[in-house]
């Protein structure tokens, strides 16, 4: 289901990409040695629900597959 996120991502407008990134990323921790991303479990579950059959993400994925 989430394997095709890359293909769907390319079809999204930048504002939609930003909304998804904000949904998935809880926080970014920057130190002198590294950058760490803390993911939002709830955000990932919400995105997965959207990509299920019948969700808007599934419709976008189907449109992408049809145009390929």
Answer yes or no: is pLDDT of 1 > 60: no
pLDDT tens-digit readout, 15-49: 988 988 898 899 999 999 999 999 998 888 887 77
The values of phi and psi at residue 28, to 5°, are: -120, 125
Ranges of H-type helices in the chain = 5-11, 14-24, 41-51, 56-67
Give 62's pLDDT tier (boundaries 50, 70, 90).
low
Q: Would the pTM of this model clear 0.75, i.e. be above it?
A: no
Give 63's pLDDT tier (boundaries 50, 70, 90).
low
């Amino acid at each position: 289901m989430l394997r095709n996120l890359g293909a769907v991502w390319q079809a999204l407008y930048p504002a939609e990409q930003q909304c998804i990134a904000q949904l998935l990323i809880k926080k970014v921790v920057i130190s002198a040695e590294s950058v760490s991303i803390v993911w939002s479990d709830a955000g990932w579950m919400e995105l997965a629900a959207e990509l299920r059959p019948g969700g808007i993400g599934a419709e976008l994925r189907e449109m992408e597959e049809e145009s390929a």
